[in-house]
Amino acid sequence: MQGVKEKAIELLRSKSVDRVVGWKAGEFFYDLTPAVFTSVPEVEQSFVWSVFCAANLSKYLIAESRRGGKVAAFLKPCDTYSFVQLVKEHRILRENVHVVGVQCAGMCDMETIRSHGLSAVTSVAEQDGALRVETLYGARTLDRKDALGEKCRTCKSKKLAVYDELLGEQGCDEDNGRFLEVARIEAMTPEERFAFWRGELSRCIRCNACRNVCPACSCETCVFDNPDSGLRNKAAADAFEENLFHIIRAFHVASRCTDCGECTRVCPQHIPLHLLNRKFIKDINGLYGPYQAGADFDTKPPLMDFTLHDPEPSQAAVRGGGV
């Protein structure tokens, strides 16, 4: 996408905003860091828009929108849902944010590229829809889709939920089979499911990256950090402790999670945490009708709503699971 950096410069130069939240160049071509830019030279020097801008900038706006003045943020379609959800929860002050929507063709993920056995990668270049990956030990060409992060492979929508101005075209909802993996697990026997999740969750090191990156986990104090909650524990202890953490976390964000996929992207242990959130989303869609958190500013989240004839818990597995 052309024009992202230029837009940042234009916004700052015209003084229509005081700050711009974007991505800053790193040591390599891929290690971009979310950053706040306050001057045109800063942007010219280190602002980057590339296929490695996977980070969801919405959560930073909780603080940035309260810092005084106007802040511009570049939000990809998936990020806009988090943004709307946070505005809805009164976390982001909408009036202080200028949302520049940026259409997106999916972001590459270095861990995914490495998972193809590529190491010491020195550059990645787009070439006729494919990616040319140069490493210290030779070069290889990857299909673009093979380099995408999980969240982009199963992108739910290219439609921006909100923007003040848009770079690129407004897109529409996509079906990239984001529930297929959930359905695959649902189809397992309980023993297989248990084994699957034990295998995945036992790798958890309780680094809290999933929680701290999650836009829905924006609590002032997390229950797991609060000594009075009775749940405080920072240790990834035997068996159930990490299950408890992830179940409670998934439940706390249920019906507020926009499925932005950041939890899985940042997990250093490659735990497919999105499969927990997506299970809730799939169940909610199946049991209470389709709902996309952050798609609009007014709909009540399904867990804060009810109808007189909701299915009974005993029917949950049958109807929600859809096995």
Partner 1 sequence: MKQIAKTELDTLFAAITAEQKLYIPADDSAGQAQFTLWRPGLALSGRLNTARSAKDLFFPQVENLVGFRMHAGAIERVETREEPEDFVIFGVRACDCRSFSILDRVFLSEPVDTFYQMRRAHATVVTLACTRPEETCFCAAMGVDAADPAGDVTCWLEDGTLLWRANTEKGEALTEKLPMLRPCPADAADAQQARTRALMQKLPLAKLDLSAFGAGKTRALFDRPEWASLSEACLGCGTCTFVCPTCQCYDVEEFRDGSSVRRFRCWDSCMYSDFTKMSAGQPRPTQRERFRQRFLHKLVYFPENNDGVFGCVGCGRCLAKCPIHMNIVKVIKTLGVTHA
Partner 2 sequence: MQVNSEWKPTIVAFCCNWCSYAGADLSGTNRLSYPANVRIIRIPCSCRLNPMFILRAFQRGADGVILCGCHPGDCRYTTGNYYARRRMTLLFSMLDYLGIERARTRVEWVSAAEGAKFAATMNDFVQTVTALGENRRLEDLRCKA
Partner 3 sequence: MQRIGVFVCWCGTNIAATVDVQAVSDALAKEPGVVLSANYQYMCSQTGQDLIETAIREHALTGVVICSCSPRMHEQTFRKTVARAGLNPYLLEIANIREQCSWIHKDRAQATEKAIILGRAAIAKVQLNTPLQAGQSPVTKRALVIGGGIAGIQTALDIAEAGFAVDIVEKQPTIGGKMTQLDKTFPTLDCAACILTPKMVDCAQNEKIRIFSYSEVEAVSGFVGSFRVTIRKKARYVREDVCTGCGLCTEKCPQKKVPNAFNLGLDTRRAIYIPFAQAVPKVAVIDADYCSMLKNGKCGVCAKVCAAGAIDYTQKDELVECEYGAIVAATGYNPIDLSGYDEFAYSRSPDVVSSLEFERLMNAAGPTGGTLLRPSDKTHPKTIVFVQCVGSRCSAEGKGKTYCSKICCMYTAKHAMLCREKYPDTDVYVFYIDVRTPGKNFDEFYRRAVEEYGVHYIKGMVGKVSPEGGKLKVQASDLLDGRQLHIDADMVVLAAAIEPDKSARPLATMLTASMDTNDFFTEAHPKLRPVESPTAGVFLSGCCQGPKDIPETVAQASAAASKVIGLLSKDSIVCNPCVAQPDELMCNGCSSCEKVCPYGAITYLDKEFRGPNRTTLLRRVAQVNPAVCQGCGACTVACPSGAMDLKGFSNRQIMAEVDAICR
Which residues are near partner 3 by CB under 8 A?
Answer: 66, 89-91, 216, 218-223, 226, 228-231, 252-253, 256, 300-301, 303-305
Stretch that binds partner 1, among 82-90, 162-170, 198-206, 292-300 (CB under 8 A): 198-206
Give 6's contacts (C-beta < 8 A, 6+ positions apart): none
Query: Quick check: 306 binds partner 2 (CB under 8 A)?
Result: yes
Enter the DSSP assignment of 27: S
Residues within window 242-301 making contact with partner 2, judged by CB under 8 A: 243-244, 247-248, 250-251, 254, 276, 279-280, 283-284, 287-288
Q: Does residue 285 belong to the site contacting partner 1 (CB under 8 A)?
A: no
Stretch that binds partner 2, among 12-20, 36-44, 182-190, 291-299 (CB under 8 A): 182-190
The nearer residue to partner 1, 255 or 264, going by C-beta atoms, is: 264
Alpha carbon distance 159, 79 (integer Å): 11
Instruction: Name the DSSP letter for residue 74.
Output: E
| Residue (30 or 288) nearer to partner 2, CB | 288
Instruction: Pick the stretch among 87-95, 113-121, 154-162, 173-181 that binds partner 1 (CB under 8 A).
Output: 113-121
Binding footprint of partner 2, residue count (CB under 8 A): 52
Q: Which residues of 8-19 are buried (b: 16+ CB within 10 A; e: fewer)?
A: bbebbeeeebbb
Which of 116, 176, 237, 300 forms a contact with partner 2 (CB under 8 A)? 237
What is the Cα–Cα distance from 136 to 4, expressed in whole angstroms?
31
Which of the listed partners (partner 1, partner 2, partner 3, none) does 89 bind, with a CB threshold of 5 to 8 Å by partner kind? Answer: partner 3
Residue recorded with tokens 């699957």: 196
CB burial of residue 212 (10 Å; 0-12, 13-18, 19+): middle
- Taking CB under 8 A as the rule, does residue 219 contact partner 2? no
Whether residue 62 contacts residue 86, with contact meaning beta carbons closer than 8 Å, is answered with yes
Task: Compare residues 47 and 224 and give the one whose CB is closer to partner 2.
Answer: 224
Residue 277: which of 122, 58, 85 has the closest Cα? 85
Task: Tell which residue, 83, 255, 106, has the closest CA to residue 171.
Answer: 106
- Name which of residues 121 to 180 contact partner 1 (CB under 8 A): 121-122, 136-137
